[in-house]
Amino acid sequence: MGGPWSGPAVVVEDLVRTFQPKKRPEVVALQGVSLRVDEGEVHGLLGPNGAGKTTLVKILATILLPTSGSATVLGRDVAAEATSVRPLIGIVLGGDRGLYNRLTARQNLRYWAALHKLEPGAGRRRVDALLERMGLTKRADDRVQTYSRGMRQRLHLARALMHDPPVLFLDEPTTGLDPLAARELRAIVGELAGERRTIFLTTHDMAEAEALCQRVTLIDRGRILATETPRALSEMLSRYERVECDGATDEVVADLSALRGVSSVSALGLSTRIEVDSDGVVPEVMRRLVAAGVTSVRVTRPTLEEVYLDLVGRRGMDV
Amino acid sequence: MSRLGHMLRVLGWAALVGFRDTLGAVYTVQSWVLGLFVRMVAQVAFFASLGQLLGRQADVEFLLIGNAIMVSTSSSFTVTVATVGERDAGTLPLLVASPTSPLVALMGRGASFVPNGLITSLGALAIVAPLYDVSLPWARLPALLALLTLVTVSTYMTATFLAGFVLRSPGTRRTVSNVARLVMMAFCGVSVPLSVYPEVVRAVAQVLPLTHGLKAIRELFAGAGASDILGDAGLEALVGGGWLLLSLATFRWLADAGRRDGSIVFSTA
Amino acid sequence: MRALIGAIRLQLQIVVADRGYLNEILTNPFFAVIFLGVVRAAGRRDLTTFAIVAPVLMTLWALSLEISGNVVSADRGVGILELVVATPTRFQTVVFGRVLAVTLLGTVGVVETWLVARIGFGVEVSVHHPGVLAGALAATALAMTGTALVMAGAFVLAGGARTFQNTMNYPIYLLAGVLVPISYLPGWLRPMSRLIFLSWSADLLRDSLQPEPAQDVLRRLSAVLLLGAGGFLIGSIILRLVLHRVRHLGTIGQE
């Protein structure tokens, strides 16, 4: 398995993955993706459905082979050295699948303990510990088909942690969960991150990425748009701060629209939003608003979601 | 009269839907031949070869005819399994809520298995009989066809009766239809002459479908007179009618129980 | 080895939870009744061993057909296959263990048949060569597992092959002389029969119940084991191919 690794946990270079459905044109799921995840980092992969998130996770998890390009996990190539990657990774794939519904949680986990080659005694103890940690001990001997989605997802997490892997791949772990269950799961992921595990997490939930991740990679249609900290991402558009106000008269709207540096003035229900596209315009906008007697004025910065929509939307609509 | 007319219309439409389903989704010509017909032919040949082991041509003939006819009645039990498909498709609650007895619609839906059974049976007979030097009374083919239809339909009535119970516990559908087939294979005179069994088994066999009809078919093959054949055929029809009455009596009751406990709505998954 | 035991345990748990394979196990006594009844009606008590061996082998074969058709596709259907692939355990080990579990379960057919003969027909089955019986049963179980591995691979590799899953009972029973010895088959079919390990198993099992000394036992046992080992080898290769193909095509999670 080689010695301790002291580089990035995940390195992806020029990764391409195409699929050839029967009698239909080829689908390019990933078109030259490069990315790097540091050890101990919680890295988010953010994108809409069909962006290529799951394909990337499955390649990193040694389930799919890349069409071209390379990817390594702790220095081992996921295609050529799959067998030495597998003991290092734990995976949770989204959705309801992946469990034997008619078996109990404990029976499911014991099976995975065996597949990860744990000694029977060690396997039993590990299963008990994981059930306890995931808060499933009381229901451990009930059939999985009686579980809520949140419980199933925690069971998936327990399975992924069976062999105490240093790297975790979580594919949309909170999709379909009710808000409370999602929050519980995020808390557990936060704990896992605290154990210096590397976590690579896909999501299309901006708030989740902001809450959990040190860095976020935006992906759309198999291409990476940006990799930044959640803060830096929102700062990318911070120079596009905008002003919102209530009760603007037609005159002041016309006045602001003519102002150099103001990109748009739009009605937002009862309020008005003034967007700017260069530095230093905001104070001038505020001054004019106040002078016109408008006192309910707010300066806002875009949320990560808006950055994301902006980046995706800009390339999206005109294809 | 209008009520009967209505029932027949429902039956007809349901049969049409069922045929479309069977032809399109369940079987293609290729999968029918490879997945069903070949197996049935081999099954008949397997039992005929047992006759060879016993060493008498009469045994070969007995086993070959019994098992070739059995093939057709086997097909009838598909309705027992198919009922659950109806439930899974979500159409069952709609049928129960409709003014027609759901039984009529279900019977229509599975009706395509009757001709399927006839074709398989006759095909197996035509292929296997020459291989084992059994001559068929082709001149009596219309009579054979009539008797074969009779046993297939009377078995279909029994299968519908079982479908009602399977509806209550869908997990048992394959087991129920499988055991029903096996009971008939073992105790209706298909391979084993009834004389081998104790009195009580023989008595039960009298009220099972196939027993009398198969006897009539054997008489037909042996060149017996019309009165013997018609007598046994009449008994078979009586048994089939009895099962139909039982189905009608229990089905509404089972459907109502399903409405009470909700089992009628949920799928097996 | 740990993974193998884990796979066997899992399969037994699935059997219990699903009441799976109940059909194959329920079928056995009926066939025992039919064969014993036919033999009795014909007054051929000398053929009793034929009537007893056949249901045992038929149960085993039906079970391994069933498991080989499901073991891969069921996991694939519920998205477990892709998770198994990402573990350090080889997929073939999992399949082998699960099939073996079901095959071992199939030996329950021996008990069923014995009970039917004893209670239903008052037939006392006497084992004249217990060593041959034990050896033949063990070799048969192993060969059955190896063969099931080939079928499992074939069913995944060629999805259409599952059409044959239900077809492969009676033709094989006939061809392998499970009930009626292959000497009754047309001569040109017999070499084919000898390629099916069941034909050797059936002869051995029948011989173990006959008073006459059994001939050539080691050679025939080797034939069973060799054919089973061949199945295991080919099956492993096919499964490896299958896995590589689905990882490459990206159809791994699909049914």
Sign of the Cα torsion A201, A203, A208, A210 reads positive
Chain C's closest residue to B46, CA to CA, is C174
DSSP B33: I
- Rounded to a whole number, what is the distance in Å from the CA of A49 to chain C's nearest CA? 17
pLDDT at C249: 78
Q: Using the beta-carbon criterion (under 8 Å), do C17 and A143 form an inter-chain contact?
A: yes
Mean pLDDT for all residues in chain C: 88
Q: Using the beta-carbon criterion (under 8 Å), do B53 and C19 form an inter-chain contact?
A: no
By Cβ distance, the residue of B53, B56, B183 closest to C50 is: B53
- Rounded to a whole number, what is the distance in Å from the CA of B192 to chain C's nearest CA? 5
Per-residue pLDDT of chain A (319 residues; tens, 9 = 90+): 445 677 899 999 999 999 887 778 888 899 999 999 999 999 999 888 888 999 999 999 998 999 999 999 999 999 999 999 999 999 998 767 889 988 999 999 999 999 998 988 999 999 999 999 999 999 999 999 899 999 999 999 999 999 999 999 999 998 888 989 999 999 999 999 999 899 999 988 777 888 899 999 988 889 998 888 887 776 666 656 778 888 888 888 888 888 888 888 888 778 888 888 777 788 888 888 888 888 888 887 766 667 777 766 665 443 3
Subunits with 3+ Cβ pairs within 8 Å of A are C
Q: What share of chain A is helix, strand, coil (3-state, %, to 5)?
A: 40, 25, 35
pLDDT at B3: 67
Per-residue pLDDT reduced to its tens digit, B209-258 = 999 999 999 999 998 889 999 999 999 999 999 999 998 888 777 777 77
The β-bridge partners of A206 are none
Are C2 and A119 in contact by the 8 Å Cβ rule? The answer is yes
Distances in whole angstroms, Cα of residue B70 to Cα of each of A60, B76, B189, B217: 56, 10, 10, 12
Sign of the Cα torsion B170, B175, B178, B181 reads negative
- Rounded to a whole number, what is the distance in Å from the CA of A209 to chain C's nearest CA? 25
Per-residue pLDDT reduced to its tens digit, B137-167 = 888 899 999 999 999 999 999 998 898 888 7
Q: Using the beta-carbon criterion (under 8 Å), do C2 and A118 form an inter-chain contact?
A: yes
By Cβ distance, the residue of A64, A101, A118 closest to C252 is: A64
Residues of C within 8 A of A83 (CB-CB) are 88
Q: Using the beta-carbon criterion (under 8 Å), do C80 and A99 form an inter-chain contact?
A: yes
Centroid of chain to Cα C192: 18
How many degrees, rounded to 5, is the angle at CA B108 between CA B105 and CA B112?
Answer: 150
B198, pLDDT greater than 80: yes
Binned at pLDDT 50, 70 and 90, residue B24 comes out as: low
- Rounded to a whole number, what is the distance in Å from the CA of C25 to chain A's nearest CA? 21
Subunits with 3+ Cβ pairs within 8 Å of C are A, B
Q: Using the beta-carbon criterion (under 8 Å), do B50 and C27 form an inter-chain contact?
A: no
- Rounded to a whole number, what is the distance in Å from the CA of B176 to chain C's nearest CA? 9
What gap in Å lies between CA C17 and CA A87, rounded to an integer? Answer: 30
Q: Using the beta-carbon criterion (under 8 Å), do B49 and C180 form an inter-chain contact?
A: yes
Residues of A within 8 A of C86 (CB-CB) are 61-63, 86, 89, 91
Would you state the torsion angle of the CA atoms of residues C96, C98, C99, C102, taken in this order, to the nearest 10 degrees? 150
Query: Which range among A53-67, A272-286, C23-37, C97-111 shows the weakest confidence by mean pLDDT?
Result: A272-286
Q: Using the beta-carbon criterion (under 8 Å), do C38 and B56 form an inter-chain contact?
A: no
Residues of C within 8 A of A99 (CB-CB) are 78, 80
Binned at pLDDT 50, 70 and 90, residue C255 comes out as: very low
Are A272 and A242 in contact by the 8 Å Cβ rule? The answer is no
Residues of B within 8 A of C30 (CB-CB) are 182-183, 185-186
Binned at pLDDT 50, 70 and 90, residue B269 comes out as: very low
Of B144, B177, B183, residue with least CA distance to B192: B183
Residues of C within 8 A of B39 (CB-CB) are 166-167, 169-171
Residues of B within 8 A of C166 (CB-CB) are 35-36, 39
Does C163 reach chain A within 8 Å, measured CB to CB?
A: no
By Cβ distance, the residue of C167, C171, C184 closest to B53 is: C184
Mean pLDDT of C231-243: 88
The interface predicted TM-score (ipTM) is 0.90
Residues of A within 8 A of C10 (CB-CB) are 100, 103, 107, 110-111, 114
Backbone angles phi, psi at A300, to 5 degrees: -125, 155
What gap in Å lies between CA A157 and CA A167, rounded to an integer? Answer: 13
Q: What is the Rg, in whole angstroms, of the alpha carbon atoms belonging to chain A?
A: 24
B189, pLDDT greater than 80: yes
Does B33 reach chain C within 8 Å, measured CB to CB?
A: no
Q: What percent of chain C has pLDDT over 70?
A: 96
Does C17 reach chain A within 8 Å, measured CB to CB?
A: yes
Centroid of chain to Cα A253: 39
Element (H, E) at A310: helix A304-316
Better-scored residue on pLDDT, C33 or C73: C33
Distances in whole angstroms, Cα of residue B157 to Cα of each of B12, B153, B248: 17, 6, 10
Would you state the torsion angle of the CA atoms of residues A50, A235, A242, A281, taken in this order, to the nearest 10 degrees? -140
Residue C194, token pair as written in the block: 């000898």
Task: Name the one residue in this structure whose structure tokens are 């102002």.
Answer: A259
Chain B's closest residue to C165, CA to CA, is B35
Q: Using the beta-carbon criterion (under 8 Å), do C34 and B35 form an inter-chain contact?
A: no
What gap in Å lies between CA B140 and CA B114, rounded to an integer? Answer: 21
pLDDT at B150: 95
Residues of C within 8 A of B130 (CB-CB) are none
Q: Per residue in C13-36, is it b (16+ CB within 10 Å) or e — as a string?
A: bbbebeebbebbbebbbbbbbbbb
Mean pLDDT of C191-197: 93
How many degrees, rounded to 5, is the angle at CA C148 between CA C146 and CA C151?
Answer: 120
Q: Using the beta-carbon criterion (under 8 Å), do C86 and A63 form an inter-chain contact?
A: yes
How many degrees, rounded to 5, is the angle at CA A244 between CA A238 and CA A248?
Answer: 150
Per-residue pLDDT reduced to its tens digit, C154-188 = 877 776 666 777 788 899 999 999 999 999 988 88
Q: Where are the alpha helices (DSSP H) in C22-129?
A: 22-41, 48-77, 81-85, 91-106, 108-115, 121
* Amino acid letter, residue B264: I
Backbone angles phi, psi at B141, to 5 degrees: -55, -45
Q: Using the beta-carbon criterion (under 8 Å), do B186 and C30 form an inter-chain contact?
A: yes
B108, pLDDT greater than 50: yes
B25, pLDDT greater than 60: no
pLDDT at C220: 95
Interface of A with C in 93-132 (CB under 8 A): 93, 95, 97-103, 107, 110-120, 123
Chain A's closest residue to C253, CA to CA, is A63
Chain C's closest residue to A108, CA to CA, is C10
Per-residue pLDDT reduced to its tens digit, B122-134 = 999 999 999 999 9
